[in-house]
């Protein structure tokens, strides 16, 4: 299989692109494998957070061009390229990046909610160098997250930036030593899974959609999304656990 999936203690689903001989380039099998893993992440209540990474010291070099020229298309249903870029997961998803996250590989990372990267990782959208366009989300996600002129430079030169620069401009959440991205992502996931599932889902939805709303819409939409959380059993449990100075026992209801 080109995608390995495993579950760690605490309800973390780890998804590994396993095509190191092709720098983890995305073909149809990878796209279907990632899509299936994300369906599982969203469907199983005991799974709380996902981590997406690549085997062999590389995150992902983008679309498998050899497969592309033979007519293979690395999309999966409404999830889009690599089974993730148009519709990722409802639950928090962390990209653990080593080596190169280029072209569609960078766009996969941008489709995740958080990015942990080794200090020697590289990020870029070099599609223009191949006569292509970064059409899996990079061209509109980047200017939403980094300064306009830097987004334009990445898009028009096709040249990559290093992880330290990516962290400086807010693309990368945490920098770790080379080879430690997965460990860093697991540490971040452990911080997240301690929190209440309903509150996590509502918080992610509001942050994702906030830029689509006017201020008036934001108050209404936030109230609709968060309203049920305040009346949940977990909200009561959180308050009781705080008062009793113990760890809460979340039920997801």
DSSP 8-state code for residue 195 = S
Nearest by Cα to 116 from 48, 195, 177: 177
Q: Which amino acids are annotated catalytic?
A: 107, 127
H/E element holding 78? Answer: none
H/E element holding 202? Answer: helix 197-209
* 224 CB neighbour count, 10 Å cutoff: 10
* 209 CB neighbour count, 10 Å cutoff: 14
Residue whose pair of structure tokens reads 């190191």 in the numeric block: 20
Any bridge partners for residue 15, and if so which? 5, 52
* 136 CB neighbour count, 10 Å cutoff: 28
Taking the C-alpha atoms of residue 182 and residue 97, their distance in angstroms, rounded to an integer, is 8
Q: Which residues, including other chains, have CB under 8 Å from residue 41's CB and lie 6 or more apart?
A: 13, 47, 50, 89, 91, 93
């Amino acid at each position: 299989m080109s995608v390995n999936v495993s579950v760690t203690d605490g309800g973390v689903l780890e998804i590994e692109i396993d095509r190191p001989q092709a720098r983890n380039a995305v073909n149809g099998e990878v796209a279907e494998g990632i899509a299936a893993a994300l369906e599982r992440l969203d469907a199983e209540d005991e799974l709380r957070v996902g981590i997406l990474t690549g085997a062999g010291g590389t995150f992902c070099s983008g679309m498998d061009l050899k497969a592309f020229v033979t007519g293979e298309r690395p999309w999966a249903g409404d999830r889009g390229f690599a089974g993730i870029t148009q519709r990722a997961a409802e639950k928090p998803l962390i990209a653990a990046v080593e080596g190169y996250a280029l072209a569609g590989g960078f766009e996969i990372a941008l489709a995740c909610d958080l990015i942990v990267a080794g200090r020697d990782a590289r990020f870029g959208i070099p599609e223009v160098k191949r006569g292509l366009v970064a059409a899996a989300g990079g061209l509109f996600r980047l200017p939403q997250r980094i300064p306009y002129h830097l987004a334009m430079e990445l898009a028009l030169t096709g040249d990559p930036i290093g992880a330290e620069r990516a962290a400086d401009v807010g693309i990368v959440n945490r920098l770790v030593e080379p080879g430690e991205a997965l460990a860093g992502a697991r540490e971040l996931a452990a911080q997240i899974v301690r929190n209440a599932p309903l509150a996590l889902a509502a918080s992610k939805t509001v942050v994702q959609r906030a830029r689509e709303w006017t201020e008036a819409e934001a108050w209404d939409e936030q109230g609709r999304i968060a309203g049920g959380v305040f009346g949940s059993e977990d909200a009561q449990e959180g308050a009781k656990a705080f008062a009793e100075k113990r760890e809460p026992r979340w039920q997801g209801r």
